[in-house]
Structure 1
């Protein structure tokens, strides 16, 4: 397989979606309104990670484009839980891509404690060979959820997916603490937003 050629459309998807999402954030800021988007990160999955996932899921190389949906990954990080659903609603109303599936791991958290909103989309990329439909995964989560998930991902990598029971229990407690933090911050959301507006006027 020519990996450079295969991954080029995914890199294009990542760059185009980053520009569009950052554009949405700038519009909120320009209108002096609270932006539901705090920041955006994006990446194309490294080749070894693609191969490892394909092997783990027994996906033949010829089916990778259809069966591995997070080769292009975009993460939208928000301040508050309800910001997540504001972003979700905005994405659902767009016409420049098609939503294939959605998973709400906030209301239905994973056993590990993981919380996030996942959206798989089909995005049209214009290439020199014509239009290509590329799958991408959007993850929308709060700062607290992102902090927890980043550390859980590192531990999963360290222990090759077999995190010791004691650490797993602590992670579950930490996930609940992170969600409690989100809930408490949501209760004083208006005060925080007013403070931010005052700060940026200085």
Structure 2
């Protein structure tokens, strides 16, 4: 390798870990086998293996069961971003959690998860969302505001369709799921208290 090549490779930004790689790292840090994590999460060992190799696309509900089995909050799966400047989180510094198969991405707007409020900017392509399985949070309450697009959200047994400017508030402990039912990109702002994602 020439000195010129070495210089370029040193200055190239590191690629963020994939979701599967982050889950594998958490599992290994805890000294757990795939079999043990599968048992704790009530998922198959094959599913865990495929997930760690980014060959399957988990729902938010499956990720919650996995992170609970690993003893860590789901928010720990966000990409490691640049540290924010004080309490300001610049667009380029947002931590990100991408759900490739669900065609959705969450961006953490809160500087960290140590405060009393968690703010998430969610984007989803048409048909994208949280997956087929409803999920719950350990938090108390959340509010969703649709910024752009159209969202179908199920809270318990109730179905709602929200358009740009619409908002909904509900208990985080009630099973819920959501999907972009519009023709374009969905953008929504989520506020969760206390942070529980």
- Name the structure where strand makes up a greater proportion of residues: 2
- Name the structure where helix makes up a greater proportion of residues: 1
* TMscore range, shorter length: under 0.3
TM-score by structure 1 length?
0.26
